[in-house]
Structures are given as C-alpha cells and as structure tokens.
Structure 1
Amino acid sequence: MYGIVLTLHSLVRWLVLGSLLFALYRSYRGLYGKRPYTKFENSVRIIAATAAHIQFVLGVYLYFISPVTNYFISNFSEAVHLREIRFFGMEHATMMLIAVALISTGSSKAKRKTEPRAKFKTQAIWLTIALIVILSSIPWPFSPLVHRPWLRPF
C-alpha cells in the first residue's frame, strides 16, 4: 500500500503544479488584461484548490504509513539531525500544510470578492505565494538537499 500511495502522491504533484500554474496564468491574464471573471475562471480556481486538497490528503495518509516519517517520530532526537529524515518528517510536511492553507485562503477570499479585478488580484497574490512555498519544498531530482525522481513507477 505504501508504494501505491507514494507513487500516487508523486503523480498528483504534477496535477497540482499544472492546475496551479494555469490558475496563475488565468489570474494574471485577467488582472492585467482587465477581463471579466467568468465561470471558467471560477472552475480553474476550484480545480486548483481541489487538486491541492487531494494531494494534501494523500500526503497526510503517506505521512502516517511511511517508514521514513515513522522513524522520524520514533527517534526524533537523532532523526532531526539527519537531513533527509528531517526533510520528510518535518520540513516538507509543514511547508506543504502552509501551501495548502495559502491556496485555500486565496481561493476563499477570491470567491468572496465582487469586482473581477479584485478576484484576479487576490487569487494571483495568494496562489503565487503558495507556488513559491511548494516549489521550495518539493524534493526535486536536482536538489542538493533531498532529491527524488521526476516520476515514480508503480
């Protein structure tokens, strides 16, 4: 089960990044192009937030079944000094929780705005900050800190 959830978590990352980038593109396009906030923009916002929430649920489940995080929790005093264990046991989980909170907050605030420009601006700001947090906390294959493959096989 661990391997399947880990692979799904790895694959859904691309759905989150793609939907978030597309939502940001539409937000900045609407903001600077002075466009109306249509049902399509609203759907893009909902899809990006939903993808992030699905990924978060997979991540939380993975956190509790992962041998890496189980080791981190069981041996905290020594595991906190091991970069890879600490990254997955504490840093990645915390930063992604913050990113999902930013996406949720931005989505909620944008939904409540009445003016199209205010919707686009709110969405653009909150999602940009969330994207920065996400990009800084993904274990990229090129990262000198902790790295994982681009895609995990099943």
Structure 2
Amino acid sequence: MYQFLLAAHSLIRWFVLISIFCMLLKVYHGWIWKKTFTKFDEILSIVVLRITHIQFLLGLSLYFISPIVRYFLNNFKEAVHIRQIRFFGMEHITVMLIAISLITIGTEKSKLKKTDIEKFKTLSIWYSIALFLILTSIPWQFSPLTSRPYYRPF
C-alpha cells in the first residue's frame, strides 16, 4: 500500500504542476489582455482545484503510513535535527497544506469577483504564490533539503 501511494503521489505531482502552470498562463493572459472570463476558465480552475485536492489526500494518506513520518513523530527530539526526516515529518506537509489552501481560497475568491479582470487577477496572484510554495517544497533530485527521484514507478 505504501509503495503504491508513494508512486501515485509522485505521478500526480506532475499533473498538479502542469495544471497550475497552464492555468497561470491562461489567467495572466486574460488579466494582461483584458479577456473575458469564460466558462472554460471556470472549469479549468475547478480542475486545478480537484487535482490538487486529490494530491493532498494522497499525501495525507502517505503521511499517516510513512515510516519516515512515524520515526519523526516517535523520536521528535532527535528527528527534528535530521534534515530529511524533518522535511517529510514537518516542512513538506506544512508548506503543501498552505499552498493547497491558497489555491482553494483563490478559486473561491475569484468566484465572488464582479469583473473578468478581477477574476483573472485574483487567480493569478493566489495561484502564483501557491506554485512558488509547491516548487520550493517538492523533494527534487537537486534539492539541498532532500533528494528524491522525479518519478517513482509502481
């Protein structure tokens, strides 16, 4: 179960990144060129929201069954001083929770805006901050915090 969830979480990360990136291209274009906020834009924001929520649920499931997190929680005083253990036990989940909250808030706030430009602007700002946080908290192969493969096979 753990290996399957880890592989799924690794795979869906790419869908999250691609969907947020595509959404940002769309909303910045709409904001800068003063386009009309269409039904497609609304659907795309909901798709991004759903993909990120699915990823969060997978990550949360992993958090509760991960041997790394179990070690972190059972040996907190020592584990908090070990970079890789602390990253997965505390930092990764906290920053990702904040990023997903920003995406959720941004999506909901955009629905309340009256003009198309305000909708695009709202999504642009909230999604940009969320993407920045996500990119800084993914355990990339080149990351100084912790190193994991770009994709884990099933």
Counterpart of 2:92 in structure 1: which amino acid?
Answer: H
Counterpart of 1:3 in structure 2: which amino acid?
Answer: Q
Counterpart of 1:144 in structure 2: which amino acid?
Answer: P
- Report deviation, 1:93: 0.4
Indicate whether 1:13 and 2:13 are aligned. yes
Indicate whether 1:47 and 2:44 are aligned. no
Inter-partner Cα distance in structure 2 for 1:36 and 1:120: 9
Could you say which residue in structure 2 is the equivalent of 1:78? 78
Could you say which residue in structure 2 is the equivalent of 1:127? 127
Could you say which residue in structure 2 is the equivalent of 1:150? 150
| 1:90-149 Cα shifts (integer Å, max 9, x gaps) | 000000000000000000000111200000000000000000000000000111220110
Matched-pair identity in %: 54
Could you say which residue in structure 1 is the equivalent of 2:63? 63
Aligned residue pairs total 154
Indicate whether 1:2 and 2:2 are aligned. yes
Could you say which residue in structure 1 is the equivalent of 2:92? 92
- Report deviation, 1:56: 0.4
Inter-partner Cα distance in structure 2 for 1:28 and 1:69: 38
Note the residue ranges of structure 2 that are not aligned, 5 or more in a row.
none
Counterpart of 1:27 in structure 2: which amino acid?
Answer: V
Q: RMSD across aligned C-alpha pairs, in angstroms?
A: 0.5
Name the SS for the 2:139 alignment partner. Answer: coil
Inter-partner Cα distance in structure 2 for 1:145 and 1:100: 21
What TM-score comes out, normalization by structure 1 length?
Answer: 0.99
What TM-score comes out, normalization by structure 2 length?
Answer: 0.99
**Greater than 3 Å deviation, 4+ residue runs:** none
Counterpart of 2:76 in structure 1: which amino acid?
Answer: F
